Amino acid sequence: MPGNYKTILFNATILMLLIASCKEDAPENPCKNQHSTTAAFTMMETFQPFQYTSGWVYYDTDTALCGDITFTAQEINADSFIWQIGTDPKVRNGKQVTVLFPSSVAGSTIDIRLIVIKKPNKLCFPYDVGTDTVIRQLYFVSTDKANWVGKWHGYNIDQPDSIFNIELVWGYDTFGNYYTFMIKGLPFGCSNFTSHFYAATLSISYKTVDFINYDGIYCNNIGGILNTKGDSVGINYSIMKSVTHGNPNDRFNKTFIGKRIP
């Protein structure tokens, strides 16, 4: 019996070594990481965040504010990329194109069509004809209907038991001079609308606002970035430690998270 056990163990070891050797010698699948011709593409708002603000999230979207939209084909190597934007007779070419949509398209849905032509990989995809077409719809809204507009109920993560409401608005500033981004209720206890966010201190998309510290003392000189997802909001912001005698660069960093309320 002991001899038989040794024989079985020896044979099993040889078999395992043979299997491992076969795996090592097997050629790599030539179709690995390959794909058939595709005209899939992304649509992204191209508002630029400020270089010293972190946390801006770029995202593929089917809803956007009027402005620059960048369309990017998923296909890397193709012979031709043909973009058709709504009823615009102009044909655009290239893997990536950026189009400026004026405020007049707010409330409209525009068809975005991409046609991709390339030499197909018949070895891996014998039925690939070398061309594909994808049409996506992009809906535009005015800034006052951005996803972040509204009232929100939440807390600073360093004080989860202190619940309070804030309001985010796109409207006339407190002096009635121009439309701007405004916050009410942040930081906690600030009952005024902070409306001193000029165009040069804002970067806005449908889901995100990047606002730098404005030149005032209202609400502790607040500045930061907010991101929304559905009915949730997160705001990473900073405020001056002391408004009356403090250094504008001497600041607290905080994070507010909340849910939308009617």
For the record, the structure tokens of 166 come out as 């804030």
Section 168-189 average pLDDT: 81
Instruction: Count other Cβ atoms within 10 Å, centred on residue 164.
Output: 17
Tens-digit pLDDT profile for residues 212-260 = 765 555 677 788 899 999 999 999 998 887 766 666 677 889 999 999 9
Q: What is the model's pLDDT at position 1?
A: 46
CB 99, CB 71: distance < 8 Å: yes
Residue 160 pLDDT class (50, 70, 90 cuts): very high
Q: What are phi and psi of 234, to 5 degrees?
A: -130, 130
What's the whole-model pTM score?
0.80
Tens-digit pLDDT profile for residues 100-145 = 999 999 999 999 999 999 999 999 999 999 999 999 999 999 999 9
Alpha-helical regions (H) of the chain:
2-25
Quickly list DSSP for 195-246.
----GGGEEE-SSEEEEPPPSS-GGGG-EEEEEEETTEEEEEEEEES-TTT-
CB 240, CB 251: distance < 8 Å: yes
Section 183-194 average pLDDT: 80
